[in-house]
């Protein structure tokens, strides 16, 4: 696999509460340098990221909805999605309502996702499960509900929980959704070997912070023979 191919699977992430303006600029510079597929910032900083990448149509800007808890009302998620779309984002990553899922309120979960998907129109929506808080059965159920609601991707986590993507949960998600949607891994993808192993399991997008992205790309440059 070429470095350029890996770059086209990476959603650069700058969505921590303490992510600085300088880090957002660094993310944009890195995305431009390697032609990464997408970059994310928190909603208040999304206009800056859109502006930094406005002359690079190959690089998408993503927006986060209901982030990071997923506990916003459905109407507020819809409003946030529309606001982000008006800012110029090309993709939306929304957090599932974890409490509703765990409580078996599946109709509410599906409606919550579907309303955002409808608001997004042709814009792809990725649904974040925060797998750290879910059992395997709950992950499977979340996949089924997300597919029913019309998502483009199911995603492991926000990067805010203690754990995120594992080989086990990305395999479980891919086995469940099949070809009905794609899988994005985020939280815990710390090295090139993990990324490539997850890709072999069917993961096609990776949410990665700038420090980890730099380390992965440097690792690739130093030892391409293994890949």
Q: Given CA atoms 2, 9, 50, 164 in this order, what sign does their dihedral have?
A: negative
| Residue 184 annotated among the catalytic residues of the structure | yes
The CA-atom distances, in angstroms, between 193 and each of 16, 198, 217, 226 are 24, 9, 12, 9
* Cβ atoms of 94 and 120 closer than 8 Å: no
Catalytic residue among 77, 93, 112, 174: 93
| Residue 126 annotated among the catalytic residues of the structure | no
The CA-atom distances, in angstroms, between 145 and each of 68, 107, 131, 186 are 20, 9, 15, 20
Report how far residue 19's alpha carbon sits from residue 106's, in angstroms, rounded to the nearest whole number: 34
Report how far residue 213's alpha carbon sits from residue 27's, in angstroms, rounded to the nearest whole number: 10
Catalytic residue among 114, 141, 174, 184: 184
| Residue 93 annotated among the catalytic residues of the structure | yes
Q: Would you state the structure tokens that stand for residue 188, as one six-digit string?
A: 């815990």
Catalytic residue among 114, 126, 155, 174: 155
Q: Would you state the structure tokens that stand for residue 117, as one six-digit string?
A: 């998907």
Catalytic residues: 93, 155, 184
């Amino acid at each position: 696999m070429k470095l350029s191919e890996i770059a086209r699977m990476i959603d650069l992430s700058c969505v921590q509460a303490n992510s600085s303006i300088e880090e957002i600029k660094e993310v944009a510079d890195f995305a431009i340098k390697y032609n990464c597929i997408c970059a994310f910032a928190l909603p208040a900083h999304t206009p800056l990221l859109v502006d930094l990448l406005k002359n690079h149509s190959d690089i998408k800007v993503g927006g986060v909805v209901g982030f990071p808890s997923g506990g916003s009302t459905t109407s507020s998620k819809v409003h946030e999605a529309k606001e982000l779309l008006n800012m110029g984002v090309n993709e939306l990553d929304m957090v599932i309502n974890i409490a509703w899922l765990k409580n078996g309120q599946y109709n509410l979960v599906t409606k919550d996702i579907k309303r955002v998907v409808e608001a997004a129109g042709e814009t792809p929506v990725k649904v974040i499960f925060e797998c750290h808080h879910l059992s395997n059965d709950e992950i499977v159920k979340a996949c089924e509900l997300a597919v029913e609601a019309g998502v483009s991707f199911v995603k492991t986590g926000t990067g805010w929980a203690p754990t995120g993507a594992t080989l086990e949960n990305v395999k479980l998600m891919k086995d469940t959704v099949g070809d009905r949607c794609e899988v994005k891994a985020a939280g815990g993808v710390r090295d090139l070997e993990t990324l490539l192993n997850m890709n072999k399991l069917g993961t096609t997008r990776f949410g990665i912070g700038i420090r980890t992205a730099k380390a992965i790309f440097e690792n690739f440059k130093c030892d391409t023979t293994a890949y």
